[in-house]
Amino acid sequence: MAPTHVLRCCQRGLAWIPVIFIALVVCWSYYAYVVELCIFTIPSFAEQILYLVFFHISFIMFVWSYWMTIFSKPSNPSKEFCLPKVEKERYEKEERPETQQEILWRAAANLPLYTRTGAGAIRYCDRCQVIKPDRCHHCSACDMCVLKMDHHCPWVNNCVGFSNYKFFILFLAYSLVYCLFIAATVLQYFIKFWTNELPDTRAKFHVLFLFFVAAMFCISILSLFSYHLWLVGKNRSTIEAFRAPVFRTGSDKNGFSLGFRKNIAEVFGDQKKYWPLPVFTSQGDGLTFSSRLVNTVDAEQATVNMQPEPSKSTGDVQGLASPLGETENCLLPNDQHSNNTDHLANDTLKSAESETITISMESES
Protein backbone atom coordinates (compact mmCIF):
# COMPACT_ATOMS: atom_id res chain seq x y z
CA MET A 1 0.00 0.00 0.00
CA ALA A 2 2.75 2.45 0.95
CA PRO A 3 4.83 1.98 -2.23
CA THR A 4 1.69 2.57 -4.33
CA HIS A 5 0.94 5.79 -2.46
CA VAL A 6 4.52 6.99 -2.89
CA LEU A 7 4.40 6.14 -6.59
CA ARG A 8 1.23 8.16 -7.09
CA CYS A 9 2.74 11.13 -5.29
CA CYS A 10 5.79 10.94 -7.55
CA GLN A 11 3.61 10.75 -10.64
CA ARG A 12 1.62 13.80 -9.52
CA GLY A 13 4.84 15.71 -8.89
CA LEU A 14 6.32 14.78 -12.27
CA ALA A 15 3.10 15.82 -13.99
CA TRP A 16 3.85 19.44 -13.08
CA ILE A 17 7.13 19.46 -15.03
CA PRO A 18 5.55 20.61 -18.35
CA VAL A 19 3.68 23.39 -16.53
CA ILE A 20 6.85 24.52 -14.76
CA PHE A 21 8.69 24.49 -18.09
CA ILE A 22 6.05 26.72 -19.70
CA ALA A 23 6.11 29.05 -16.70
CA LEU A 24 9.90 29.41 -16.89
CA VAL A 25 9.78 30.11 -20.63
CA VAL A 26 7.08 32.75 -20.12
CA CYS A 27 9.03 34.42 -17.29
CA TRP A 28 12.19 34.50 -19.41
CA SER A 29 10.26 35.89 -22.40
CA TYR A 30 8.90 38.65 -20.18
CA TYR A 31 12.39 39.61 -19.03
CA ALA A 32 13.89 39.36 -22.51
CA TYR A 33 11.18 41.48 -24.12
CA VAL A 34 10.68 44.15 -21.44
CA VAL A 35 14.25 44.57 -20.21
CA GLU A 36 16.60 43.45 -22.95
CA LEU A 37 14.55 44.57 -25.96
CA CYS A 38 12.42 47.53 -24.88
CA ILE A 39 14.75 49.11 -22.31
CA PHE A 40 18.25 48.29 -23.62
CA THR A 41 17.73 47.91 -27.38
CA ILE A 42 14.87 50.08 -28.68
CA PRO A 43 16.08 53.71 -28.85
CA SER A 44 12.69 55.41 -29.35
CA PHE A 45 10.79 56.15 -26.15
CA ALA A 46 7.43 56.30 -27.97
CA GLU A 47 8.09 52.91 -29.54
CA GLN A 48 8.96 51.49 -26.14
CA ILE A 49 5.69 52.68 -24.60
CA LEU A 50 3.62 51.41 -27.53
CA TYR A 51 5.25 47.98 -27.46
CA LEU A 52 5.01 47.67 -23.68
CA VAL A 53 1.30 48.55 -23.57
CA PHE A 54 0.24 45.96 -26.14
CA PHE A 55 2.70 43.41 -24.77
CA HIS A 56 1.29 43.62 -21.25
CA ILE A 57 -2.31 43.35 -22.50
CA SER A 58 -1.55 40.12 -24.36
CA PHE A 59 0.61 38.89 -21.49
CA ILE A 60 -2.13 39.43 -18.86
CA MET A 61 -4.82 37.75 -20.96
CA PHE A 62 -2.51 34.84 -21.75
CA VAL A 63 -1.54 34.26 -18.10
CA TRP A 64 -5.13 34.70 -16.92
CA SER A 65 -6.55 32.11 -19.34
CA TYR A 66 -3.66 29.74 -18.68
CA TRP A 67 -4.24 29.99 -14.93
CA MET A 68 -7.97 29.31 -15.30
CA THR A 69 -7.30 26.29 -17.52
CA ILE A 70 -4.91 24.79 -14.99
CA PHE A 71 -6.83 25.39 -11.78
CA SER A 72 -10.43 24.86 -12.92
CA LYS A 73 -11.49 21.60 -11.34
CA PRO A 74 -13.02 19.13 -13.85
CA SER A 75 -16.77 18.66 -13.45
CA ASN A 76 -17.95 15.21 -12.38
CA PRO A 77 -21.30 13.38 -12.71
CA SER A 78 -23.88 14.28 -10.07
CA LYS A 79 -25.25 11.89 -7.46
CA GLU A 80 -28.30 11.03 -9.52
CA PHE A 81 -26.03 9.07 -11.88
CA CYS A 82 -24.77 6.87 -9.04
CA LEU A 83 -26.41 3.51 -8.52
CA PRO A 84 -28.58 3.17 -5.42
CA LYS A 85 -26.93 1.21 -2.65
CA VAL A 86 -29.10 -1.88 -3.14
CA GLU A 87 -28.65 -1.90 -6.92
CA LYS A 88 -24.94 -1.31 -6.53
CA GLU A 89 -24.56 -4.35 -4.29
CA ARG A 90 -26.55 -6.48 -6.72
CA TYR A 91 -24.46 -5.24 -9.63
CA GLU A 92 -21.18 -6.08 -7.87
CA LYS A 93 -22.35 -9.55 -6.84
CA GLU A 94 -23.77 -10.38 -10.25
CA GLU A 95 -21.40 -12.19 -12.61
CA ARG A 96 -23.55 -12.38 -15.74
CA PRO A 97 -23.19 -9.32 -18.00
CA GLU A 98 -26.81 -9.64 -19.16
CA THR A 99 -28.15 -9.31 -15.62
CA GLN A 100 -25.77 -6.43 -14.92
CA GLN A 101 -27.14 -4.60 -17.94
CA GLU A 102 -30.69 -5.16 -16.71
CA ILE A 103 -29.74 -3.50 -13.42
CA LEU A 104 -28.21 -0.56 -15.30
CA TRP A 105 -31.23 -0.20 -17.58
CA ARG A 106 -33.56 0.00 -14.59
CA ALA A 107 -31.34 2.54 -12.86
CA ALA A 108 -31.04 4.66 -16.02
CA ALA A 109 -34.74 4.59 -16.86
CA ASN A 110 -35.35 8.15 -15.62
CA LEU A 111 -31.95 9.60 -16.56
CA PRO A 112 -31.48 11.86 -19.61
CA LEU A 113 -29.26 9.45 -21.54
CA TYR A 114 -29.19 9.22 -25.32
CA THR A 115 -25.77 7.73 -26.04
CA ARG A 116 -24.77 4.09 -25.69
CA THR A 117 -21.72 1.90 -25.97
CA GLY A 118 -20.75 0.41 -29.31
CA ALA A 119 -22.82 -2.67 -28.41
CA GLY A 120 -25.85 -0.56 -27.46
CA ALA A 121 -25.42 -0.97 -23.68
CA ILE A 122 -25.57 1.61 -20.89
CA ARG A 123 -22.25 3.40 -20.42
CA TYR A 124 -21.06 2.60 -16.90
CA CYS A 125 -17.75 3.35 -15.19
CA ASP A 126 -16.64 0.51 -12.94
CA ARG A 127 -13.85 2.67 -11.55
CA CYS A 128 -16.04 5.57 -10.42
CA GLN A 129 -19.16 3.39 -10.10
CA VAL A 130 -21.42 5.85 -11.91
CA ILE A 131 -23.56 5.75 -15.01
CA LYS A 132 -21.80 7.99 -17.49
CA PRO A 133 -23.79 10.99 -18.72
CA ASP A 134 -23.68 11.81 -22.41
CA ARG A 135 -20.20 12.92 -23.58
CA CYS A 136 -18.68 11.94 -20.21
CA HIS A 137 -15.52 9.82 -20.15
CA HIS A 138 -13.15 8.46 -17.54
CA CYS A 139 -9.72 10.13 -17.45
CA SER A 140 -7.04 7.69 -16.35
CA ALA A 141 -4.60 10.50 -15.54
CA CYS A 142 -7.07 12.34 -13.28
CA ASP A 143 -8.65 9.02 -12.16
CA MET A 144 -12.19 10.41 -12.42
CA CYS A 145 -15.10 10.70 -14.83
CA VAL A 146 -15.09 14.13 -16.50
CA LEU A 147 -18.15 15.80 -18.01
CA LYS A 148 -17.81 16.49 -21.74
CA MET A 149 -14.22 15.36 -21.63
CA ASP A 150 -12.09 16.59 -24.53
CA HIS A 151 -8.62 15.33 -23.57
CA HIS A 152 -6.05 15.37 -20.80
CA CYS A 153 -3.47 18.06 -21.53
CA PRO A 154 -0.02 17.59 -19.96
CA TRP A 155 0.85 21.25 -20.64
CA VAL A 156 -1.82 22.36 -18.16
CA ASN A 157 -1.69 19.21 -16.00
CA ASN A 158 -5.45 19.08 -16.07
CA CYS A 159 -8.28 17.41 -17.88
CA VAL A 160 -9.90 19.66 -20.47
CA GLY A 161 -13.66 19.29 -20.34
CA PHE A 162 -16.93 21.08 -19.68
CA SER A 163 -15.62 23.23 -16.81
CA ASN A 164 -12.58 24.69 -18.61
CA TYR A 165 -12.91 24.09 -22.36
CA LYS A 166 -13.60 27.77 -23.00
CA PHE A 167 -10.53 28.68 -20.94
CA PHE A 168 -8.44 26.23 -22.95
CA ILE A 169 -9.57 27.77 -26.25
CA LEU A 170 -8.76 31.26 -24.96
CA PHE A 171 -5.42 30.02 -23.66
CA LEU A 172 -4.53 28.85 -27.17
CA ALA A 173 -5.81 32.09 -28.69
CA TYR A 174 -3.94 34.45 -26.36
CA SER A 175 -0.77 32.37 -26.43
CA LEU A 176 -0.88 32.61 -30.22
CA VAL A 177 -1.42 36.40 -30.03
CA TYR A 178 1.39 36.66 -27.48
CA CYS A 179 3.86 34.79 -29.67
CA LEU A 180 2.82 36.55 -32.86
CA PHE A 181 3.20 39.97 -31.25
CA ILE A 182 6.68 39.11 -29.95
CA ALA A 183 7.81 37.66 -33.28
CA ALA A 184 6.47 40.64 -35.27
CA THR A 185 7.99 43.34 -33.07
CA VAL A 186 11.31 41.55 -32.52
CA LEU A 187 11.85 40.76 -36.21
CA GLN A 188 13.45 44.08 -37.21
CA TYR A 189 15.91 43.99 -34.32
CA PHE A 190 16.57 40.31 -34.97
CA ILE A 191 17.65 41.26 -38.51
CA LYS A 192 19.80 44.15 -37.24
CA PHE A 193 21.60 41.92 -34.77
CA TRP A 194 21.97 39.18 -37.38
CA THR A 195 23.49 41.59 -39.93
CA ASN A 196 25.67 43.28 -37.29
CA GLU A 197 23.93 46.62 -37.65
CA LEU A 198 23.70 46.71 -33.86
CA PRO A 199 26.70 46.13 -31.61
CA ASP A 200 27.15 42.82 -29.82
CA THR A 201 25.70 43.20 -26.37
CA ARG A 202 24.08 40.96 -23.82
CA ALA A 203 20.72 41.75 -25.43
CA LYS A 204 21.77 40.13 -28.71
CA PHE A 205 21.43 36.58 -27.39
CA HIS A 206 18.04 37.29 -25.81
CA VAL A 207 16.64 38.98 -28.92
CA LEU A 208 17.81 36.25 -31.31
CA PHE A 209 16.63 33.43 -29.09
CA LEU A 210 13.36 35.22 -28.33
CA PHE A 211 12.45 35.38 -32.02
CA PHE A 212 13.23 31.69 -32.61
CA VAL A 213 11.20 30.57 -29.59
CA ALA A 214 8.23 32.79 -30.47
CA ALA A 215 8.20 31.62 -34.10
CA MET A 216 8.47 27.97 -33.05
CA PHE A 217 5.55 28.23 -30.61
CA CYS A 218 3.51 30.13 -33.20
CA ILE A 219 3.67 27.24 -35.64
CA SER A 220 2.76 24.58 -33.10
CA ILE A 221 -0.02 26.58 -31.42
CA LEU A 222 -1.57 27.70 -34.71
CA SER A 223 -2.25 24.14 -35.85
CA LEU A 224 -3.72 23.13 -32.48
CA PHE A 225 -5.81 26.29 -32.22
CA SER A 226 -7.20 25.84 -35.74
CA TYR A 227 -8.13 22.25 -34.99
CA HIS A 228 -10.04 23.16 -31.83
CA LEU A 229 -11.84 26.00 -33.59
CA TRP A 230 -13.01 23.42 -36.11
CA LEU A 231 -14.17 21.17 -33.26
CA VAL A 232 -16.12 24.05 -31.68
CA GLY A 233 -17.83 24.80 -34.99
CA LYS A 234 -18.82 21.13 -35.30
CA ASN A 235 -19.70 20.78 -31.59
CA ARG A 236 -17.38 17.81 -31.14
CA SER A 237 -14.78 16.91 -28.58
CA THR A 238 -11.42 15.45 -29.51
CA ILE A 239 -12.65 12.03 -28.37
CA GLU A 240 -15.79 12.33 -30.52
CA ALA A 241 -13.70 13.38 -33.51
CA PHE A 242 -11.80 10.08 -33.36
CA ARG A 243 -14.75 7.92 -32.23
CA ALA A 244 -18.27 9.05 -33.13
CA PRO A 245 -20.83 8.91 -30.30
CA VAL A 246 -23.35 6.07 -30.51
CA PHE A 247 -27.03 6.98 -30.24
CA ARG A 248 -30.10 4.76 -30.20
CA THR A 249 -30.14 4.83 -33.99
CA GLY A 250 -26.40 4.17 -34.33
CA SER A 251 -23.21 6.20 -34.40
CA ASP A 252 -23.33 9.76 -35.70
CA LYS A 253 -20.37 12.15 -35.61
CA ASN A 254 -22.72 15.14 -36.06
CA GLY A 255 -25.23 14.02 -33.43
CA PHE A 256 -24.60 17.00 -31.15
CA SER A 257 -24.22 19.60 -33.88
CA LEU A 258 -26.92 22.28 -33.67
CA GLY A 259 -25.62 24.64 -36.33
CA PHE A 260 -22.54 26.84 -36.37
CA ARG A 261 -23.91 29.70 -34.24
CA LYS A 262 -25.48 27.47 -31.60
CA ASN A 263 -22.36 25.32 -31.46
CA ILE A 264 -20.23 28.37 -30.66
CA ALA A 265 -22.78 29.65 -28.13
CA GLU A 266 -22.72 26.31 -26.31
CA VAL A 267 -19.03 26.84 -25.49
CA PHE A 268 -18.78 30.65 -25.21
CA GLY A 269 -22.31 31.58 -24.17
CA ASP A 270 -24.94 33.93 -25.58
CA GLN A 271 -23.38 37.26 -24.58
CA LYS A 272 -20.56 38.07 -26.97
CA LYS A 273 -19.05 40.69 -24.65
CA TYR A 274 -17.86 37.86 -22.38
CA TRP A 275 -16.36 35.72 -25.13
CA PRO A 276 -12.81 37.21 -24.89
CA LEU A 277 -12.74 36.95 -21.09
CA PRO A 278 -11.67 33.74 -19.31
CA VAL A 279 -14.82 33.60 -17.17
CA PHE A 280 -17.21 30.67 -17.30
CA THR A 281 -20.12 31.38 -19.68
CA SER A 282 -20.69 27.97 -21.29
CA GLN A 283 -24.29 26.85 -21.64
CA GLY A 284 -25.83 23.91 -19.80
CA ASP A 285 -24.80 21.86 -16.82
CA GLY A 286 -22.51 19.36 -18.54
CA LEU A 287 -24.91 16.50 -17.79
CA THR A 288 -27.38 16.92 -20.64
CA PHE A 289 -26.83 18.24 -24.15
CA SER A 290 -29.15 19.21 -26.94
CA SER A 291 -29.01 16.91 -29.92
CA ARG A 292 -30.63 17.03 -33.31
CA LEU A 293 -31.27 13.28 -32.99
CA VAL A 294 -33.11 13.32 -29.65
CA ASN A 295 -36.51 14.46 -30.91
CA THR A 296 -36.24 12.23 -33.97
CA VAL A 297 -35.38 9.19 -31.89
CA ASP A 298 -38.18 9.84 -29.39
CA ALA A 299 -40.68 10.25 -32.20
CA GLU A 300 -39.54 7.01 -33.82
CA GLN A 301 -39.84 5.13 -30.54
CA ALA A 302 -43.31 6.55 -29.94
CA THR A 303 -44.35 5.44 -33.42
CA VAL A 304 -43.06 1.95 -32.83
CA ASN A 305 -44.69 1.63 -29.41
CA MET A 306 -48.06 2.91 -30.58
CA GLN A 307 -48.08 0.99 -33.86
CA PRO A 308 -51.02 -1.49 -34.04
CA GLU A 309 -50.81 -5.08 -35.21
CA PRO A 310 -50.95 -5.34 -39.04
CA SER A 311 -53.65 -6.92 -41.22
CA LYS A 312 -56.60 -6.23 -38.87
CA SER A 313 -58.35 -3.42 -40.70
CA THR A 314 -57.95 -0.93 -43.50
CA GLY A 315 -56.13 1.47 -41.15
CA ASP A 316 -53.67 -1.30 -40.30
CA VAL A 317 -52.62 -1.59 -43.92
CA GLN A 318 -51.92 2.11 -44.08
CA GLY A 319 -49.90 2.02 -40.83
CA LEU A 320 -47.44 -0.71 -41.85
CA ALA A 321 -43.70 -0.16 -41.43
CA SER A 322 -41.85 1.36 -44.34
CA PRO A 323 -40.17 -1.85 -45.67
CA LEU A 324 -43.57 -3.61 -46.05
CA GLY A 325 -45.14 -0.45 -47.44
CA GLU A 326 -42.47 -0.28 -50.17
CA THR A 327 -43.07 -3.92 -51.09
CA GLU A 328 -46.76 -3.30 -51.17
CA ASN A 329 -46.34 -0.29 -53.43
CA CYS A 330 -44.21 -2.29 -55.84
CA LEU A 331 -46.60 -5.27 -56.04
CA LEU A 332 -49.92 -3.45 -55.96
CA PRO A 333 -50.01 -2.24 -59.57
CA ASN A 334 -49.12 -5.72 -60.91
CA ASP A 335 -51.86 -7.34 -58.83
CA GLN A 336 -54.43 -4.84 -59.94
CA HIS A 337 -53.47 -5.36 -63.57
CA SER A 338 -53.65 -9.11 -63.35
CA ASN A 339 -57.02 -9.22 -61.48
CA ASN A 340 -59.15 -6.41 -62.81
CA THR A 341 -58.05 -3.06 -64.19
CA ASP A 342 -61.57 -1.59 -63.92
CA HIS A 343 -61.93 -1.80 -60.11
CA LEU A 344 -62.85 1.35 -58.17
CA ALA A 345 -60.73 2.87 -55.40
CA ASN A 346 -62.53 0.93 -52.68
CA ASP A 347 -62.03 -2.36 -54.46
CA THR A 348 -58.35 -1.50 -54.90
CA LEU A 349 -57.93 -1.12 -51.15
CA LYS A 350 -59.56 -4.48 -50.58
CA SER A 351 -57.26 -6.13 -53.11
CA ALA A 352 -54.29 -4.61 -51.24
CA GLU A 353 -55.49 -6.29 -48.04
CA SER A 354 -55.86 -9.65 -49.76
CA GLU A 355 -52.43 -9.21 -51.32
CA THR A 356 -50.90 -8.62 -47.88
CA ILE A 357 -52.37 -11.89 -46.67
CA THR A 358 -51.06 -13.66 -49.80
CA ILE A 359 -47.53 -12.36 -49.19
CA SER A 360 -47.65 -13.56 -45.60
CA MET A 361 -48.82 -17.05 -46.65
CA GLU A 362 -46.07 -17.34 -49.25
CA SER A 363 -43.33 -16.23 -46.85
CA GLU A 364 -44.47 -18.75 -44.21
CA SER A 365 -44.40 -21.61 -46.70
Q: At CB < 8 A and 24+ separation, what contacts does 192-200 make?
A: 198/41
The widest CA-to-CA distance across the chain, in whole angstroms, is 105
CB 161 within 8 A of CB 146: yes
Classify residue 244 by burial, with Cβ atoms within 10 Å: 0-12, 13-18, 19+: middle
Given 136, 142, 145, 153, which residue is catalytic? 153
CA angle 70, 75, 78 (to 5 degrees): 165
Q: At CB < 8 A and 24+ separation, what contacts does 190-198 make?
A: 198/41
CB 158 within 8 A of CB 70: yes
* Annotation says 153 is catalytic: yes
CA nearest neighbour of 242 among 231, 258, 232, 233: 231
What count of other Cβ atoms lies within 10 Å of the Cβ of residue 108?
Answer: 17
Q: Name the residues annotated as catalytic.
A: 153
